[in-house]
């Protein structure tokens, strides 16, 4: 069964199509988070709470399942379909290893810092404590790591399309 999957171009097309769609739909909205946070800062506490809630819902219902689930599953599928697991730690796979380090770092920041901070900020805002210094500290932390995630996401997309050192031309012709 694996023999029929490895190197199969139909599977490659399906996996790559879903992978690229996942990148666009899952990562795309995150680039609007900074603009939404900027708007939240300038508006009333009630409206800011609404914006926080929308951001949290988009993160939990769209970004996390796609970036944390679909991208990982289709990405691993692409690795085995293209046979990249052979000599995984070779120079040819430098782009992939760098991408995976970036991916793991971004997931760590997102799940370990941004997610919990957002939950704490939302809880305070729901208790009517949106004006407190504690709340301000959480918003500041979100604002600090948001651009870092944006840069990591951008670098990931560029690396995965460019694939320097892989011997493949852009896009996807090996």
Q: Tell me which residues in 24-53 interact with ligand HEM (CB under 6 A).
A: 27
Stretch that binds ligand HEM, among 68-76, 113-121, 131-139, 140-148 (CB under 6 A): 68-76
Tokens linked to 167: 């011997």
**Phi/psi at 169 (nearest 5 deg)?**
-90, 165
Q: How far is the CB of 67 from ligand HEM (least distance, A)?
A: 5
Q: How far is the CB of 59 from ligand HEM (least distance, A)?
A: 14
> Do 120 and 96 contact (CB within 8 A), yes or no?
no
Is 82 one of the binding residues for ligand HEM (CB under 6 A)?
yes
In this structure, the chain runs to a length of 174
Q: Tell me which residues in 110-129 interact with ligand HEM (CB under 6 A).
A: none
Stretch that binds ligand HEM, among 33-41, 72-80, 110-118, 141-149 (CB under 6 A): 72-80
The CA-atom distances, in angstroms, between 153 and each of 90, 95, 125 are 24, 14, 29
Stretch that binds ligand HEM, among 47-55, 64-72, 113-121, 137-145 (CB under 6 A): 64-72
Residues of this chain that interact with ligand HEM (CB under 6 A) are: 16, 19-20, 23, 27, 67, 71-72, 75-76, 78-79, 82, 84, 96, 103, 156-157, 160-161, 171-172
């Amino acid at each position: 069964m694996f023999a029929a999957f490895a190197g199969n171009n139909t599977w490659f097309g399906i996996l790559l199509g879903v992978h690229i769609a996942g990148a666009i739909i899952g990562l795309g909205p995150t680039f609007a988070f900074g603009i939404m946070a900027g708007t939240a800062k300038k508006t009333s506490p009630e409206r800011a709470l609404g914006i926080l809630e929308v951001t949290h819902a988009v993160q939990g219902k769209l970004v996390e399942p796609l970036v944390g689930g679909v991208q990982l599953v289709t990405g691993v599928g692409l690795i085995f379909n293209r046979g990249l697991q052979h000599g995984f730690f070779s120079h040819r796979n430098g782009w992939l290893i760098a991408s995976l380090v970036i991916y793991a770092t971004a997931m760590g920041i997102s799940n370990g810092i941004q997610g919990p901070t957002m939950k704490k900020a939302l809880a305070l805002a729901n208790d009517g404590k949106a004006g407190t210094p504690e709340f301000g500290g959480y918003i500041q932390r979100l604002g600090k790591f948001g651009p870092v995630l944006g840069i990591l996401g951008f670098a990931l997309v560029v690396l995965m399309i460019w694939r320097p050192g892989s011997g493949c031309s852009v896009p996807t012709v090996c």
